Each structure stands twice: as C-alpha cells, then as structure tokens.
Structure 1
C-alpha cells in the first residue's frame, strides 16, 4: 500500500516539474520584438532595461496649467506610464532640449552615447557619420508594423545616405509632422473686396492681391499691408520655394560629394527680385522679424503671410477665436505638384544603443495613435500619420488641417540635404543683404553660389 502511494506521489511530482519546465521555456523564448520575431511581450520580458529618449522643443514631463485659460496640458509622464505598462520591466527616460543650438547639442550627445533614441531633423548629416542604426531590418522583420500608416511622402522625406551607401535608406521614422504654407486673413480680403486666394496661387496672383490690399482699409480706416514674410532665418527656404514655383530647384544630389547648387540660377535670381518687389507691400522690419505683431489678433493688419507653419497658425488662430477668419493656401509648386521645404522631425536609433530591441519598441510606440494624438492635442505639434483625420480633435480644426495635410504630402523630398548645414545660412545671409539694399539680387545669388560651392569643396 505504501509502495503504491509512493508511486503516485512520485508521478504527481514529475507532472508538476514538467508543467513548470514548459512555462519557463515559454518565458525564455518569447517576445524578441526587435529585428528578431514579433511575438507579444510577456511579464518581465524587459526587466532591468532602460532607454533614454532625447526630444526637442516644448515638451514637459509633468502636467501644467495655463494661467490665463486655466486649461491643463498633460505632461510626458502619461506617455511614459503607458509605454512602461505595455513593456513590463522597462523604463524610459526623457532628455528634453530647446530648439536653440539643437544640432550642436545633439552632436555632443550622440558622440558621448547619452541616448538610445533621438529626435533628429538633421538626419542627413548624422546618417553620413555612421552613428545611426539602419531601420529596414526592423521594419521587414516586424509584421505588426506598416509604413502605410504615415502621411504620403513622410517616410521618403527623411531618407538619408549612410557612410558607405550609394542608395537612400530609412534611418528615421516620421515623428513630428510639419509643413509650410501661405496663410491669409479672409476678413481683410472681404473688407477690400478682393477675391480669396486660390488653393494653389501663383506669384502673379499673390503680387496682384497684395498690392490691392496695401494702404488705408476702406472699412476700418486703418493702415493695411498686403504681405509679410520673414527676412531672416527662414528666408532661404522662402526663396527656394519661389524658385520651385518657376520649375527651378535648389540643385541636385544628396551625398556631399555629388551635390551641385543652383543658387545662382535664373529662377533664384528672379525669385529674389520678386521678394524685393513684395517688400514694397510689407511693413518695415522684415529682416529683424518685425511688423507682424498684430497677426492672429482681432486687429490684424496683414493680408497674406508667406512661409507659415501649422504650429504658429492653427492652434493660435483658434485660441484667439479666429479659426474661421484665417485660411490656408498651398506654397508654390512646380508642374509636377511638388514644392516647399520638407519639415518636421524624425526619430532615430543610435547605433551604439545597448537596448536596440527596446528602442525599436519605443519608436513604434512613438508613431502609434496614442503618442501621435498626444502630440497633436497636448504638445501643439502636428501628427505624421493618416489616422489623424479620424480624430474628433482634428474635426474641430478641419478647415485649417485639411490644407495642412495636403502641404505635408507634397513637399520636396527627400529633405534638402543642406537644410541644417552651412549653405542654408550662407543663402539666408545673402537674402538679408539684398533685402537691406547691401547687394542687388544678382550679386546676392552669385555670392551665395560661390560661397556654398567653396564650403562644399572644403567639406569634401
């Protein structure tokens, strides 16, 4: 009898051991979500792993309350909590830096290996340094991730060349969307009896209507200006877009040893001449970013604003109760419907990250509806995914968001490779020189071409 009882106890013990062994084996092999398999995470899979994520701009870790409106904005803590709940055992830490000097600060960070994931507008320069992880293997091996979630051309816009590659590759995923467009005040158009801008205005249309709305407003009796544009830091991009509207371009090539600039092309020269003409219908102070202080206020005195962005237009317009008064037209496009600077920010993975699988998990999460909706509703940023068009918050500002989404899908891609490099500042300086009367348009574009080519030669 004792022998039979011992037999059954031994059999039960072996069964329990077998069950436990199967459970342990399952835990050990599941959930390699990076470049391996794409099975779901299990409890504690990411135990002890920490990734550091660098972000640029007006992000806050904690909730904040607007002292004027009383509205509360959620901090990044809600994003941190959600990511960590989806990835048991993982920790994400944020490093937030201002836009001022972000290129140099990012360079210092990535050189010293301070973060795993970077928000990186200057992706072309960093990919060429071989400090970024190519993302194609992660995308191809993750059946749960699909590039079709992004707005058209957002992925292509951030493609870059690696240090030893002859073909553009994916080193970043779209994170912050952005665009450039022409904004205008419908009330001023109505008061002057001028027809609204067409969806795709020409240079001639802009000039004609700006001229008509410069002077004493026939209704208010106040002085109005037909147009405004920044004559300082963004003026290079404004000029390039004007050239694109004439079927010109900044140049060609992407690798530094293949780039050729067209800064002294006929389209660039005539574009700068056009900006000098437009200055006659603008308030003083363009070069010092002055004269537009009343824009997006009930007392606005400017009819047309060139080279505007959604962050400075959409939410501020609605906050001032001007959401139905302001309208958006597209920047100048070439005959193929393409034009305007590709803007925004991608997120990238540091090549020296020690937790690449978890970093990839964060990158997927950062491009999900959860984070993209947070960016739109809490951080006053633009989403980069198509699903945004289904959100209630999008519907509330649809009249301004629809043309913005179009602008985001039709810029020049890939992003100008020199957009964060010295040629941008050379061209900007020469546009300023022309606007202040130091040089003629011809002299300015010729000098910009010469100095940019010399810089390129020295760099190569």
Structure 2
C-alpha cells in the first residue's frame, strides 16, 4: 500500500520526485520579516495523522510550511484551516476583516463579483518563470470569473485542488452477470440496458444485485445537467448574473430526469437520503454502476479493499464535441486587501509546484491539478484509475457553472428530489426549477 498510494513516511522529503529546498534558490530580501496567512478548507492538518483508510502516517502541513519558509528566508506562513461546513459564510467574514492573504475558494465566481479578489493576469504577465502550461487542460479556464468592472472573463484564481466526475463500475459483477463492460464513453441507453441486466438475483452468488446507484440529494442537479449535456443540451447560457438564462425545462433536461426516474427501478431504495450504497467499494459490493463518482480517496479505498482488479472507470456523458460533466475542485486566490501581495503571488506559484501538488496527492489524498502528475511514480502505479480521472478533469464543461454555488443549484436539486420521491412529474419539477431560478436571478 505504501508504494501504491505514495504514503511513505520514511523519506526525508515530502516526495521523492517533487521540488525540494535543495533544488531551488533561497529567496529572501524583499520578503524579509513578512508573514503570509493562508486559508485552506477540508481535511488538512498541521501535524502528522493516521490515514483512516490505509493506517499509514500522513504528513501534516508543517512540511509545506517548512519548505516555503526555507525557500523564502525570513518569512513566515500561517495556515487557517476550516471545515467544509459553512465555508462560504466563514470565508466571507474572513475577507471582510482581512484575516488572510490567500484563500482556497471554490466559490470564486461570487467572490470575484464582489471585488474582493486580486486579478492575477498582471502577475502572470510579469513573471517570466511562471507559465499556465503547467496545469491540466481546462483547469485554468474552469475558474475564470468576472470582477465588478470586467467585460470579459479574467483569471482570479489558480488551480490548486483538482476534481472531476466520472462513472465507476464493478467488473466482477459484470462478469458474474455475463454483461459486457461499459465502453469508455457510454451513452445513456448503454448504461440503462446494462443496469437493467444486472438487477436481480446474482446468478453466481445468489445475492440481490442492483444495476446502478446515484445520489438523489445534494449532487443530483449536477447529475441531471450532465445527462442533458450527453444529449447535446446545456444548462443555459451567460455568465454575469444579468445575462444568465436557464434551460432547466428544456427537452434534454426533461428527458434526463425521466431517465433518472427509470433508473430508480434498478437501484436500491434510499437514493434521496443517500442510502443503499453502503457496500460500494467493498468486497461485498452489490451495485454494478456508480454515476457521478468523484476521486476523493478512491484509489486508496480501492487498494485498501483489494479491489484493484474489480473497479474500472468510464467517462461521464459527453456532447458531440467531447465535453461534459461538472468542473469541480478548488482554486487559490489573493485577497484584494492583502498587504503582502507579492509574497502571496510567490505562494501561489509554490502551491502549484510539484512539491506541494505531490504532497496533497500522496499525503491528504487530494487530486493534483498539474500535468506533471501523470509522470509521478505514485500515479503511474495506479494508472488504470488515474488516467481516466485525469481525462475527466480535462473535458468538463467550462467555465464552471456560474450558479454552481448559488441558489439555482439548490432550487434544481430540490425539484429533482421532488420528482424522485413522486411528488411531481419530471416536467412539473423542471418547470418549477426554471421559474424559481429565473425569478431568483431577476430579483437578486
């Protein structure tokens, strides 16, 4: 497991392949005596911890702190770590009071519009040592945003944590049912037929199997949007709020929701309450196909359970141009009111270097956003999973849905739930989602 997931704790460096302080010049001088405050969200810890999946030691952020302070002599970096719960409100309060200089910011669209973020293009243009080519395709475009005075989309954040959505399936169940594996780019019809064939009493084990599972609650809006994309539809158009127009009640969306309603017949009960998938990614798995899967600790989980020969990945539904799926993850940004913006820019480059990107992949288990990750040994050893994940990261809908962290997402999610629980037909639910989302935009 240590070799496979890269969680070796015996090495002196965070990663054997990443940049280290011995390979980069000391940068002191103009930054002497400056303190940089960096806000991060999620499963980060300053000190070493034990990975609950593998049982291995996970290095804390202290190694990142030490590396940065070695590279930039005379500086200090302080981390402010917050949980995902309530992060939008907490980030808003921190920005208002000037508590940090650099922010991890998945809700970049809303914050850029407030004028509280520093535009990054001048830093990029003025730094001959930095190139956006380091990032996986479409990662930069996905985080483009509009400031209050911008006419065109601009760069306010650099990709930090990568993410993607894809379809995962259990080859052993396919074999036991005598069903051909999913194609790399399956259609809705293919997924439906194969889910149907694997629902019932397993002919080998005698156990009840289900052909498919998907979350019917918080991510259901994104699952539905992807189904529309697979039919060459789209969520709508526009980016600035005064230009946004929704297509939530389009024929592609209605057909997609009707498809999800049909898929309920081949899924365990409890989708809307996030139940029924408890055996997924275990040796006793009873589900053939998993929609809208994210990477998370997928690789660690698969290898910890000994499922590396069972689990495979196919792409989410794509349009005729090969585009589709949720763009997700987290960029990092510089606060407009930071008093150490030049040092903050140095942190931005450092956080997207191999040293930090390999750290976040091999220790906390997050996804990197840089192309060089494809060459890391820890990635290549699990290439049958990681290669399609990186492909999914390079082909989502970009820029990120501008309503992805705003009220229209929750309106659409609520209406999908209403349809899944039989309160409304697909057409009724999406007509309501269209009206309520349009009313919200017009009145915000």
The answer to whether TM tops 0.5 is yes
User: TM tier, shorter chain?
Assistant: over 0.9
Q: Does 1:59 align with 2:44?
A: yes
1:369 to 324, 332, 354: 354
SS of aligned partner of 1:257: helix
1:144–1:194 distance in 2 versus 1, CA, 3 Å: same
Residue equivalent to 2:138: 153
Q: Which runs of 5+ in 1 are unaligned?
A: 1-38
1:302 to 287, 297, 304: 287
Q: Does 1:338 align with 2:323?
A: yes
SS of aligned partner of 1:306: strand
Are 1:135 and 1:170, in contact at CA under 8 Å, matched by a contact in 2? Answer: yes
SS of aligned partner of 2:263: helix
1:118-161 CA-to-partner distances (Å, cap 9, x unmatched) read 00001000000000000000001101101000000000000001
SS of aligned partner of 1:173: strand
Residue equivalent to 1:117: 102
TM-score of the aligned structures, taking structure 2 as reference length: 0.93
How far apart are the structure 1 equivalents of 2:416 and 2:299? 28
Residue equivalent to 2:379: 394
Are 2:54 and 2:300, in contact at CA under 8 Å, matched by a contact in 1? Answer: no
2:406 to 408, 421, 430: 421
2:256 to 271, 281, 300: 271
Residue equivalent to 2:277: 292
TM-score of the aligned structures, taking structure 1 as reference length: 0.90
1:67–1:279 distance in 2 versus 1, CA, 3 Å: closer
Deviation at 1:103, TM superposition (A): 1.1
How far apart are the structure 2 equivalents of 1:68 and 1:403? 23
Deviation at 1:319, TM superposition (A): 1.6
1:256-293 CA-to-partner distances (Å, cap 9, x unmatched) read 00000000000000100000000000000000000000
1:230 to 215, 233, 237: 215
Aligned length: 421
How far apart are the structure 1 equivalents of 2:331 and 2:27? 29
Deviation at 1:68, TM superposition (A): 7.7
SS of aligned partner of 1:423: helix
How far apart are the structure 1 equivalents of 2:297 and 2:273? 18
2:57 to 44, 49, 72: 72
Deviation at 1:398, TM superposition (A): 0.7
How far apart are the structure 1 equivalents of 2:100 and 2:295? 29
1:171-193 CA-to-partner distances (Å, cap 9, x unmatched) read 00000000000000000000000
Are 2:53 and 2:301, in contact at CA under 8 Å, matched by a contact in 1? Answer: no
Alignment of 1:128-147 (within 5 A): 128-147=113-132
Are 2:214 and 2:290, in contact at CA under 8 Å, matched by a contact in 1? Answer: yes
1:214 to 190, 199, 203: 199
Aligned Cα root-mean-square deviation (Å): 1.2
